Amino acid sequence: MCRKSDPPPWRPVGGRCHAETVSEEQLGTDARSTGSGEPAQSSAAGEPVPIPVGEYAIGLKRQMQTLPRATITGEITEFNRTRVQVYFQLKDERGGVRCTMWRREFDQLNLPEEAVRVGAQVVATGGPDYYEGGKAASPSFSFRTTDLRPSGEGDLIARLAELRKRFAAEGLTEPQKRLRRPVLPRRIGVITAEGGAARQDLLVGLQRRGWQGEIVWGFAPVQDRKAAPIIRRTLGDMAAFADVEAIVVCRGGGSLTDLWAFCDEDLCRAVAVLAVPVVSAVGHERDVTLLDDVAAVRASTPTHAADAVVGIDVAAARATLAAAAGRAARAGQLAVRDRIAPLAGLASGPGRAIRNERAKLNQKTREIRASADRGIRSRIDATSRGLQRGLLPAAARASRLVRDGQVGNATRPQGLAARVSRRLEAGQRKVESERVALRAHDPQRTLERGYARVEDRAGEPVVSATDARRAAEIKIRFADDAVGAVVGGTRRRRRRQNEPPEEFEQISMEGLDESE
């Protein structure tokens, strides 16, 4: 697609931008202008006056720089860079142009390497430029580029490169490769187009490997905008419910646009975290999708995917196993035949050994019995002699001990009676002294010496006049008996002048005369 700010001198032709030829008169106008800005003189015949080529080159450069800017697209066929500029050529089926771009502006774009490699489609924005050269440099025409970006598949390449960097930074390219893959799976899942050639290629590869397990088919579109979500959903269902040990995702070759469903970010993230190993067999050897980066194994074609998912050649392994089993059988037969005679000879050995040991055991038994009989008889004789030597002296010693004990027991009651009497007398003296001490502290003895105890009606002692007035009725207890009394008022007898007051109040007592 071409963009231009002013129609002349550019015009779109067949979707590409091409330059119109600039007239010689237009170039001559600027070329004949001198440094002072005055036009050059014409010859008498009317022909242009010859001018130096340098002036013409400068005029050509100025004329090109006045041309409008444009945006062109094409394929990069040559690419070089220096410290100052970047040089590349853009071509298509009708022609090409040499392009230049300042290195500083190119670095600011931060384009991935895949987007500006040879063969990539790009879109360049800029305008024509002419370098007039010099004594040591050749003049050249170029398209001075100010902006550069991937175009078409180049856009997809840049997007794919960005996704690869992001997945590598997040570590999503490794989990699948760490999964354990069975060498000979019993059931595998296959996701492909139902009528595609990749399905048949995979079946041929599995048949060649001699595999006879079970295949769970998951048919899904493999080339449109709806393909990636359906493949992702089929992968999840197959891993969760189909009980498969490996999953193969395959389709035939095509352009990057055709295979872009297998570069879908959501699909590749789902594969990266899947617990079942996934074998990617998308496209041909030169086709590398994002699914190839995150899958456990990348197969170049669906045929090679059979070798990746079935780790051994079943037919060859079966033949090898049968040969090994035959060798083992023959070796076993030879081993048995060679060992029959030695084993038969060794089989009679345990019987002879048992008989010999039994004879030795019987001899030992007889010797033990004879020795036991001799020991018993010798012990009986020794015991009899010991009894004869020690029985009579022992009886005499026992009789003397009995007599001495009887004499001692006869005198013991008297000694016991004397000790008991002494203890009783000491106890009686102690009881008497304690009785005397208790008698001395008996309140009754105090009353017998002329004191009296004043009590209230409850029998509690009254110890002050205030308590007596409060009780009103009191009881005075003497040594022989108790009498009741009533505490009178506060009547006092008239006393003479200078006579000291009485110390005690008058108390009337029941049962006593006034004289008492």
> What pLDDT was estimated at residue 435?
84
* CATH number listed for the domain at residues 10-151: 2.40.50.140
Average pLDDT, integer, range 19-23 = 36
pLDDT (0 to 100) of residue 456: 85
Residue 12: band (very low, low, confident or very high) from pLDDT cuts 50, 70, 90:
very low
pLDDT at residue 258 tops 80: no
Q: What is the 3-state secondary structure (H, E, C) of 289-324?
A: CHHHHHCCEECCCHHHHHHHHCCCCHHHHHHHHHHH
Task: Using DSSP, state whether 343 is helix, strand or coil.
Answer: helix
Lowest mean pLDDT among 385-394, 428-437, 499-508: 499-508
Q: Which amino acid is at 155?
A: D
Beta bridge mates, 126: 70, 145
Instruction: Give the per-residue pLDDT at 498.
Output: 59
Whether the pLDDT of residue 61 is over 80: the answer is yes
Q: Does position 32 have pLDDT exceeding 70, yes or no?
A: no
Please list the residues that pair with 508 across neighbouring strands.
486
More confident residue, 494 or 472: 472
Residue range 248-275: mean pLDDT, rounded:
86
**Beta strands, E only, 151-243:** 187-192, 214-219
392 or 47: which leads in pLDDT: 47
CA–CA separation, 384 vs 387, rounded Å? 5
pLDDT tens for 430-489 read 888 888 888 777 777 777 777 788 888 887 888 788 888 888 888 888 878 888 888 875
Name the pTM for this structure.
Answer: 0.41
Cα distance between residue 361 and residue 367, in whole Å: 10
Q: What is the pLDDT of residue 46?
A: 64
Confidence of residue 154 (pLDDT cuts 50, 70, 90): low
pLDDT for 155: 65
> Which residues have a Cβ under 8 Å from the Cβ of 416 and sit 6 or more positions away?
none
Residue 114 in tokens: 């895949």
Residue 33 has pLDDT above 70, yes or no: no
* Percentage of residues in the chain having pLDDT higher than 90: 17
The string of pLDDT tens digits covering residues 351-386 is: 888 888 899 999 999 999 899 988 898 888 888 777
| CA–CA separation, 99 and 142 (whole Å) | 5
- Out of 126-130, 241-245, 373-377, 505-509, least confident range: 505-509
Both tokens of residue 48?
């242009």
Is the pLDDT reported for residue 47 higher than 70? Answer: yes
- Give the up-direction half-sphere exposure of residue 287: CA atoms within 13 A in the CB hemisphere: 23
Which of the four pLDDT bands, split at 50, 70 and 90, describes residue 191? Answer: very high
Count of residues making up the chain:
516
Residue 496 has what pLDDT? 53
Output DSSP code: residue 275. Answer: S
Tell which CATH architecture fits domain 166-312: 3-Layer(aba) Sandwich (3.40)
Q: What are phi and psi of 194, to 5 degrees?
A: -65, -40
**Which pLDDT score is estimated for 211?**
87
> Stretch 505-511: mean pLDDT, rounded?
47
Residue 17's CB is within 10 A of a number of other CB atoms, namely 18
Of 26-30, 135-139, 247-251, the one with minimum mean pLDDT is 26-30
Judged against a pLDDT cut of 90, whether residue 152 lies above it is answered with: no
- pLDDT-derived band at 24, boundaries 50, 70, 90: very low
Containing H/E element for 91?
strand 85-92
243 has a pLDDT exceeding 80? yes
Q: Could you report how far apart the first and last alpha carbons of the chain are, in Å? A: 156
Name the pLDDT band for 20 (thresholds 50, 70, 90): very low
Mean pLDDT of the chain: 79
pLDDT, residue 153, reads 66
Q: Would you list the domain boundaries of the chain? A: 10-151, 166-312, 414-441, 453-509
